[in-house]
Structure 1
Amino acid sequence: MPTDGMPLTSTPHPAHRDANVLRWLTAYALSLIGDAACLVALGFAAQEVAGPAQVGMVMAAGAVPRALLMLGGGVVADRFGPGKVVVGSDAVRCAIVLGIAAALWLTSPGLWLLVVGAVLFGVVDALFMPAVGALPPQLAALDQIGRIQGLRMLVIRISWIVGPPLGGLAMAYGGAAAALGAAGLLFALSVPLLMALRLRPLPADDQSGAVAPSAWGELVDGLRYIRRHRVIGPLMVSGAMSELGTNGLLTVGLVLLTKDQGWGPSGYGWIVGAFGLGQAVCAALLAVKGRVARAGLVQNVMLVVGSASVGALAFMPTLSAAVGMSLLSGLLCGMCGGLAIALIQTSAAPGYLGRVTSAMSLTGVGLTPLSFPLFGAAISAWGAQPVFVIGAAFSTLGAVAGLSSAAVRRAELPRLPGRKHTGQPAAGPAQTPSRAS
């Protein structure tokens, strides 16, 4: 598969044994755990000074600027380099969180401080997320991107298991100030790890050489690049439709479904836990295996079956059957998600990595939560089963969009020459790594 000029240089170790990749993963995990702890702390801090409506306002305050500015964050990452942006934004996030923690510790501030802090955190997060997600092609050779994405998915699952309990424990012993202080400490620990990364310089490419001088021009140029790319464009559409079709079912839909079925909160926990376990197992398999033959075709076929299995959750007669179906859904969706990201990143031209990554993040972070009220209203009006069918069908249409592209059906993850012949061009000279900062 063409890689638009990305070098296929070799690395001495596979990604799961590469110290550089493991530093990035550790920093990423610390950041994700800090994010989760922050969310818990802000919610409980708002509860102490205001009512339920204000709690929701505080917890949503950071999501709005993050969604609005996410694409702009990709432009910044491409213009200044993701290494510099990720270090700077992570340091600022640390300062913001520790500042809020100090204010809560020293005084009894009002709701306004929590809202302002959440908004500022969301603004900086819009810079951090595209930059940290765009780093993998600079950490290792392209044939390791599949492994890196598997490791990344595994870290995400682990972080969301560890983060909320950590935030709750800190809240129990020291209140919101202690929880935010713990989150700030995690961010502080991630900064030197990010600074220690040795990044391969991205080669200049013809497509990004004529970038418009304005930030708006770069943003439009990036969106045009995504739309016209034969692999990235269809996979972006496929991924967006899948996120919009299934995420609401797996959040709001499952809450209402388990209530209607009489399975209660514990049933919800078992179903969601099984889905997360499936994703974690698939992430581990992808991290070890690293490459799947005919990845583009496999990714979309798994998306079809995975979408159907999510829709089938509403028709399970018992809790045990729903847990088993959820486990299957997690396995399928986990694999197709990791393959999609790996295919997109190995297909993207170097000068567009930040903007491509920000566009991938936008759907899950910005657009998907907006659909949750719609799913809730639809299930209240029509019941769970029709809405689960509609959501799964919409997600399946995304897979159809992917499969309709011959370039996607033929897309492969790179394999370096010398390991097994795949028809890829010979690898160029090794790039000299540089510090992230």
Structure 2
Amino acid sequence: MTETTKAAGRADPPAADGQPLWTRNFTLYFTARIASLLGDAMLPVALSVAMLALGYGVSAVGYALGAWMGAFALFVVFGGVLADRIHPRPLMIGADAVRCGLIGATALAFATGRPELWFLIGVTALGGLATAMFQPGVNGLVPQVATDAHKANGVLRVAQGISTMAGPALAGLLAAFSPAWAFAVTAVTFGASGLCLLALRLGAYTVDRSASTLKNLREGWQEFRSRSWLWAVILIWWVLGVFVWGPVTPLGAASVTGEHGSAAFGYAEGAFGAGCVLGGLVAIRIRPARPLLGGAVAMFLFPLMPLAAGLAEDLALWLVLLGYAVSGIGWAFWGVQWSTTVQTQIPEDKLNRISAYEIAGSILAVPLGQVIAGPAGSAVGVHQLLLLAALMSAGCAAALIATAPIRRLRRTVRTPGSVQPVSPA
């Protein structure tokens, strides 16, 4: 049967033209997101530094991080189903509570001795599972807390850029001082996220709990494949994941640090985050009538990251950092257009499931790219493979523009109970 659920308290008033973005609900959601994103950025760095300091080695770190990614990829689709059946908020609060507890336990384990490898792998696997329950609801909550989804996504992309800059640096600093403190602060970020989500005041939300999980999965898949613009982007993202996102971090780290020193790659990642902040700010102001077309044009800036990494031996460090920063601008601008399009084109009662399929489709190719990066780099050469990644990035941007359903999709505005097309100015 179909049920209507309502969060405790009074909801913010419905969206209206000119209404401020920073309502009570959006301020709380923004705080929750920046706290959660900070924790997401801190965790892999804290784990890597702490495990290497204990002498576990690179392979063990890979097993632990792989356990997180594997659990996330396997269960994120089920997270989308549960978010549509229950409501994304309680699922996200529960996931934050689990992550806070798991990482807090890890902090205690490091404070009192040397954690066993099985414990660390188990914790990261459970953390990946909890994140799989959390992530599908991120898209689903934005239309419920924001009066302007486009502006909200721009602001949230700025938050992501800030977290990308601050998280790894903070985690590295704390882990060098004490791994226990690094994990303790990471646990606090997830606790803060959960408390902010708990304080939201949301209106009524209709859910259908009559269908089985299998039927919900089928319906989500049917909705996903019925939108050619959606699955076409994911297919292109598979190419990007294998040839670019998978290899660019390990190969980029090897290239940049080999030419400019061990701290240089951290600076480069920080520059990418700074570019994401700027790209998010630009996206708040610019609203293309065809958002995916506008985002695809911006994606022609993205190849500058693998290009700068591939040419690191021939470029001064400031030019490498500039390449990373400009790349971040393009990536963030695309991200705002994409998130807003998904949130406004998909019916609210199916948004979490489709977001889960979108997330799973986007990330599954990345581990494959990571696996082949090492052997391919040895066979072809690190710099050559990064230059190939730059070429493939440009090809993916061109493919986005060349695909008619992506190029022609028009911007829409979601009003209560409807989605209305917006004509170009």
- Counterpart in the other structure of 1:377: 375
TM-score by length of 2: 0.83
Identical aligned pairs, as a percentage? 26
8 Å contact kept, 2:76–2:133: yes
Of residues 181, 185, 210, the one that matches 1:182 is: 185
Q: Does residue 1:306 correspond to 2:301, yes or no?
A: yes
- Counterpart in the other structure of 2:28: 23
Superposition deviation, residue 200 in structure 1: 4.4
Q: 1:423 to 1:177 in 2, by over 3 A?
A: closer
Aligned runs of 1:203-352 on 2, under 5 Å?
213-248=211-246, 250-258=248-256, 262-287=259-284, 289=285, 291-303=287-299, 305-310=300-305, 312-313=307-308, 314-315=310-311, 317-319=314-316, 320-352=318-350
Measured in 2, the distance between the counterparts of 1:284 and 1:213 equals 41
Stretches of 4+ aligned residues off by more than 6 angstroms: none
What is the one-letter code of the residue matched to 1:331?
I
TM-score by length of 1: 0.80
Q: Does residue 1:146 correspond to 2:150, yes or no?
A: yes
Q: 1:220 to 1:11 in 2, by over 3 A?
A: same
Secondary structure at 2:410's aligned position in 1?
coil
8 Å contact kept, 1:308–1:396: yes
Q: 1:322 to 1:196 in 2, by over 3 A?
A: same
Q: 1:45 to 1:249 in 2, by over 3 A?
A: closer
8 Å contact kept, 1:235–1:344: no
8 Å contact kept, 2:252–2:306: no
Q: 1:253 to 1:116 in 2, by over 3 A?
A: closer
- Counterpart in the other structure of 2:5: none
What is the one-letter code of the residue matched to 2:229?
V
8 Å contact kept, 2:220–2:350: yes
Of residues 66, 90, 96, the one that matches 2:72 is: 66
Measured in 2, the distance between the counterparts of 1:200 and 1:244 equals 41
Measured in 1, the distance between the counterparts of 2:359 and 2:414 equals 28
Measured in 2, the distance between the counterparts of 1:389 and 1:14 equals 46
8 Å contact kept, 2:96–2:194: yes
Measured in 2, the distance between the counterparts of 1:213 and 1:368 equals 33
Superposition deviation, residue 103 in structure 1: 4.0
Note the alpha carbon deviations across 1:280-322, whole angstroms, 9 max, x for none.
Answer: 10112223x262333222122222x235544543357422444
- Cα RMSD for the two superposed structures: 3.2
Of residues 92, 96, 104, the one that matches 2:98 is: 92
Superposition deviation, residue 126 in structure 1: 1.0
8 Å contact kept, 1:202–1:350: no
> RCO higher in 1 or 2 (8 Å CA, sep ≥ 6)?
1
Q: 1:93 to 1:51 in 2, by over 3 A?
A: closer
Measured in 2, the distance between the counterparts of 1:89 and 1:235 equals 28
Q: 1:238 to 1:147 in 2, by over 3 A?
A: farther
Note the alpha carbon deviations across 1:372-429, whole angstroms, 9 max, x for none.
Answer: 2323322322234543343344444444543344343232333589xxxx9659xxxx
What is the one-letter code of the residue matched to 1:297?
L
What is the one-letter code of the residue matched to 1:196?
A
8 Å contact kept, 2:161–2:273: yes
